[in-house]
Amino acid sequence: SQKIEQNSEALNIQEGKTATLTCNYTNYSPAYLQWYRQDPGRGPVFLLLIRENEKEKRKERLKVTFDTTLKQSLFHITASQPADSATYLCALDGSNYGGSQGNLIFGKGTKLSVKP
Amino acid sequence: GAGVSQSPRYKVAKRGQDVALRCDPISGHVSLFWYQQALGQGPEFLTYFQNEAQLDKSGLPSDRFFAERPEGSVSTLKIQRTQQEDSAVYLCASSLGGQGDEKLFFGSGTQLSVL
């Protein structure tokens, strides 16, 4: 069956360092992958989308990579700040597995804490 | 409106009661989704509308769950005869068109507690 794993439930880093979050998947061939940020008591907020034919995408301090051979995406936040503390979710295109367009399959998320 | 609006924000129901959760998507958004998020988990897909048509309801966990979007804008998720395992946050999301790779705009969710 399909499976998505985000490397850890929690990640603690020092302000100014680069945070690296991992999303691994098995038994999928997603056409795209998205990353979302979720704060307590709020819905997820879209950050970045990367397609299967793209190796890397950047937006300000954020960078996402997508390796379809390794079946892995890495999400980086450079020069991290306490305000970056949140849960980060990866989401895969589920349409290849009988789902409809826009049917995203989410990982459990990684809770990032950036200490000052 | 400026964003996706969901109501009520919190709902407490006794086991066996029926509940109705409302979602107001961003004006003009064609696609609307419902997700269920248990504590400590990622959102899980429930159902998808394109305008008023329910194109995918494969994620609805049982026939006690029913969703509608009669005029292609506001949507209601109804849960009949609620059970304790229905306790979760119910998230609504919308996107501009019917393309599969569009970003979703989520509401803040309705937290349902079944006692």
Q: Does domain A3-115 have CATH number 3.40.390.10?
A: no
Q: Do A108 and B40 touch (CB under 8 A)?
A: yes
| Separation in Å, CA B46 to CA A13, A55, A61, A94, B73 | 35, 31, 33, 13, 18
The Cβ of residue A56 has, within 10 Å, a number of other Cβ atoms equal to 12
Contacts of B62 (CB under 8 A, 6+ apart): none
How much of chain B, in percent, has pLDDT values that exceed 70? Answer: 97
Contacts of A109 (CB under 8 A, 6+ apart): A6, A9, A38, A87, A88, A89, B42
Please state, in angstroms and rounded to a whole number, the distance separating the CA atoms of residues B44 and A31. Answer: 19
B99 at the A interface (CB within 8 A)? yes
Residue with tokens 């980060």: A88
Residue B9 DSSP one-character state: S
Please state, in angstroms and rounded to a whole number, the distance separating the CA atoms of residues B27 and A41. Answer: 23
pLDDT for residue A34:
94
pLDDT for residue B101:
75
Q: Which residues of B touch A109 (CB under 8 A)?
A: 42
The pairing of strands A104-106 and A45-51 is unpaired
Q: Which residues of A touch B31 (CB under 8 A)?
A: 102
- Asked if residue B102 has pLDDT above 90, the reply is no
pLDDT for residue A101:
67
Q: Which residues of A touch B56 (CB under 8 A)?
A: 99-100, 103
Please state, in angstroms and rounded to a whole number, the distance separating the CA atoms of residues A11 and B62. Answer: 36
- Per-residue model confidence as pLDDT tens digits over B27-79: 999 999 999 999 999 999 999 999 999 999 989 999 999 999 999 999 999 99
A90, β-bridge pairs = A35
Q: Please name which of B81, B75, B63 lies closest in space to residue B107, comparing C-alpha atoms.
A: B75
Please state, in angstroms and rounded to a whole number, the distance separating the CA atoms of residues B16 and B35. Answer: 22
For residue B22, what are its two tokens?
A: 């409302």
pLDDT for residue A97:
59
Please state, in angstroms and rounded to a whole number, the distance separating the CA atoms of residues B115 and B101. Answer: 38
pLDDT for residue B79:
98
Residue with tokens 């803040």: B108
Q: In the predicted model, what is the mean pLDDT of chain B?
A: 94
How much of chain B, in percent, has pLDDT values that exceed 90? Answer: 88
Question: What residue ranges do the domains of chain A occupy?
Answer: 3-115
Q: Do A43 and B107 touch (CB under 8 A)?
A: yes
- Below-70 pLDDT ranges, chain A: 1-2, 96-102
The Cβ of residue B17 has, within 10 Å, a number of other Cβ atoms equal to 14
Residue B110, min C-alpha distance to chain A (Å): 10
> For chain B, which domains are there?
5-97 (2.60.40.10)
Assign residue A66 a region: left if phi > 0, alpha if psi is -120 to 50, beta otherwise? beta
